[in-house]
A = this chain, B = another copy of it.
Amino acid sequence: MKRYEALAEDIALSIRTGILKRGEKLPSVRQTSERRGISQATVYQAYYLLEARGLIRARERSGYYVIAGASKLPPEPELLSSTSGDSTTVDVSELIFEVLQSTKVRDVVPLGSAFPSPSLFPYDKLASSMHSSLQQLDPWATVEDLTTGSSELRRQIALRYLLVGMHVNPDDILITNGALEALNLALFAVTRPGDAVIIESPAFYGALQSLERMGLKAIEVATHPREGIDLDALESALGKHQPKACWLMTNFQNPLGCSMPDQKKQNLVALLERFQVPLIEDDVYAELYFSSHRPLPAKAFDQSGLVLHCSSFSKSLAPGFRIGWILGGRYLSKLIRQKLSSSLSASLPAQEAIAHYLSKGHYDNHLRRLRHTLSVQQSVYTEAIARYLPAGTLATRPSGGYVLWLELALHVDVLHLQKLAIALGISIAPGPMFSAQRQFRHCLRLNYGHPYSDKTAEAMQTLGRLIQQQSSITV
Contact = CB atoms under 8 A, between A and B. Distances in A.
A97 B342 contact: no
Q: Is the interface of A mostly helix, strand, loop or mixed?
A: helix
A127 B121 contact: no
A121 B349 CA distance: 14
Interface residues of A, number: 58
A56 B204 CA distance: 67
A109 B89 CA distance: 51
A118 interface: yes
Interface string A310-326: 00000000011111000
A93 B348 contact: no
Contacts of A106: 140, 144
A142 B124 contact: no
Contacts of A119: 139
A320 B347 contact: yes
A184 interface: yes
B319 A347 contact: no
Interface string A63-100: 00000000000000000000000000000010001001
Interface in A112-127: 113, 115, 118-119, 121, 123-124, 126-127
Contact of A350 (B127, B140, B143, B349): B349
User: What is the copy number of this chain in the assembly?
Assistant: 2
Contacts of A130: 127, 130-131, 134, 349
Contacts of A439: none
Interface string A144-184: 10100000000000000000000000000000011011001
Contacts of A319: 142-143
A353 interface: yes
A346 interface: yes
7 contacts: A104-B146, A142-B320, A184-B343, A210-B342, A320-B348, A321-B348, A347-B350
Interface of A: 93, 97, 100, 103-104, 106, 113, 115, 118-119, 121, 123-124, 126-128, 130-131, 134-135, 137, 139-144, 146, 177-178, 180-181, 184, 193, 206, 209-210, 212-213, 319-323, 337-338, 340-350, 353
Given A104-B146, A118-B140, A177-B177, 19 more contacts: A103-B143, A115-B142, A124-B135, A127-B131, A130-B349, A142-B319, A177-B346, A177-B347, A180-B341, A180-B342, A206-B341, A210-B341, A213-B341, A213-B342, A320-B348, A321-B347, A322-B346, A346-B347, A349-B350
